[in-house]
Amino acid sequence: MNIYSVRMRATDGQGRHLSGMERLIFEEDVSMTLQALYQRAWHYEPHNVYITVEKIDQEITVVPVLRIRSEIHTSSSRSGVRNQAREILLDAHIEMDVIDYAFSLLDQGPAAGGGNMRGAVLLTKRSGRRLEPDKDRGVRTLRVDIHPEDRERLHVALVQQGFPHPRTQDALILATKTLWAGVIAELGWSDDPDYTTGFVATKGTYWRFEGIKEAGVNVGGRIYFVEEDEDTAELIKRLQQIPIWVTV
């Protein structure tokens, strides 16, 4: 059966990105998916909505979803929450200085002149060098979705575990591909001022951290920690081009 990538992105009157979504689906589901993505875009009161439908000619690689865990609530302060995230990154052999730098990038906005990027930072784990070719664009994880037959099962499993927010599911799926592609660990939080939950993904687990950023802050982003001698071009190719179906 033919498989398609259906993508939506919505922008405001100034051309700023509001929302994006990608589905990898069977041909028979294309028209239903177009409707669902259009509806999702409409929620953001967009000026323009761009829809792309593209046939996938490659074999789709199947990858099991990361385990999901919430941080242990030993502390309710932001610094306490961040210390737990730091511990997990240290355990993944990321240098302390590099972890501090990553937090400061996300606090300031990691784009070249401050502010939000359009993708992720690639940061080497020991010397903290930025490898992404364009520091405003960054690198995006694309061509990934939950397997159509597992969509409902993943949703039910996440709700049962106490993670009903659609953002959690989207970030979990993206992080599953990001680690599969060879990224050692990922740290991220949203630029949405009302959404203060962030995450660290590494070693097969996606850790959620509520209150990792202050409410009202409109900067955020994603840091992909990579090996010192990472082949950047190959990594970017895997992140952007190889189609992945995540399974439960």
Contact 128, 98 (CB under 8 A): yes
Q: Which of ligand COA, ligand AMP, none interacts with 202 (beta carbon under 5 to 8 A by kind)?
A: none
- In the shown chain, the binding pattern of residues 175 to 204 toward ligand AMP, with x for contact by CB under 6 A and - for none, equals -------------x-xxx------------
Q: Which of ligand AMP, ligand COA, none interacts with 7 (beta carbon under 5 to 8 A by kind)?
A: ligand COA
CB of 5 to ligand AMP, least distance (A): 13
CB of 191 to ligand AMP, least distance (A): 5
Distance (Å, rounded) from C-alpha 151 to C-alpha 154?
Answer: 5
Distance (Å, rounded) from C-alpha 63 to C-alpha 105?
Answer: 30
Extract long-range pairs of 92-98: CB within 8 Å, 24+ residues apart. 92/125, 92/184, 92/185, 92/202, 92/203, 92/225, 93/125, 93/184, 94/125, 94/184, 94/185, 94/225, 95/125, 95/126, 95/128, 97/128, 98/123, 98/124, 98/125, 98/126, 98/127, 98/128, 98/225
Closer Cβ to ligand COA, 81 or 163, answer by number: 163
Q: Which of ligand AMP, ligand COA, none interacts with 198 (beta carbon under 5 to 8 A by kind)?
A: none
Q: What is the 3-state secondary structure (H, E, C) of 56-114?
A: ECCCCEEEECCEEEECCCCCCCHHHHHHHHHHHHHHCCCCHHHHHHHHHHHHHCCCCCC
CB of 114 to ligand AMP, least distance (A): 13
Which residue is at the shortest CB distance from ligand COA? 20
Closer Cβ to ligand AMP, 116 or 124, answer by number: 116
- In the shown chain, the binding pattern of residues 18 to 47 toward ligand AMP, with x for contact by CB under 6 A and - for none, equals ------------------------------
Distance (Å, rounded) from C-alpha 90 to C-alpha 6?
Answer: 38
Binding site for ligand COA (CB under 6 A): 7, 9, 17, 20-22, 50, 52, 118, 137, 140, 142, 144-146, 170, 173-174
Q: Which of ligand COA, ligand AMP, none interacts with 22 (beta carbon under 5 to 8 A by kind)?
A: ligand COA
| Binding to ligand AMP, residues 52-111 (CB under 6 A) | none
CA angle 221, 222, 227 (to 5 degrees): 150
| Phi–psi pair at 5, nearest 5 degrees | -95, 125
- Bridge partners, residue 70, by sequence: 208
Q: Which of ligand COA, ligand AMP, none interacts with 21 (beta carbon under 5 to 8 A by kind)?
A: ligand COA
Q: Which of ligand COA, ligand AMP, none interacts with 230 (beta carbon under 5 to 8 A by kind)?
A: none
**Which residues of the shown chain bind ligand AMP in the complex (CB under 6 A)?**
116-120, 138, 140-141, 174, 188, 190-192, 220-222
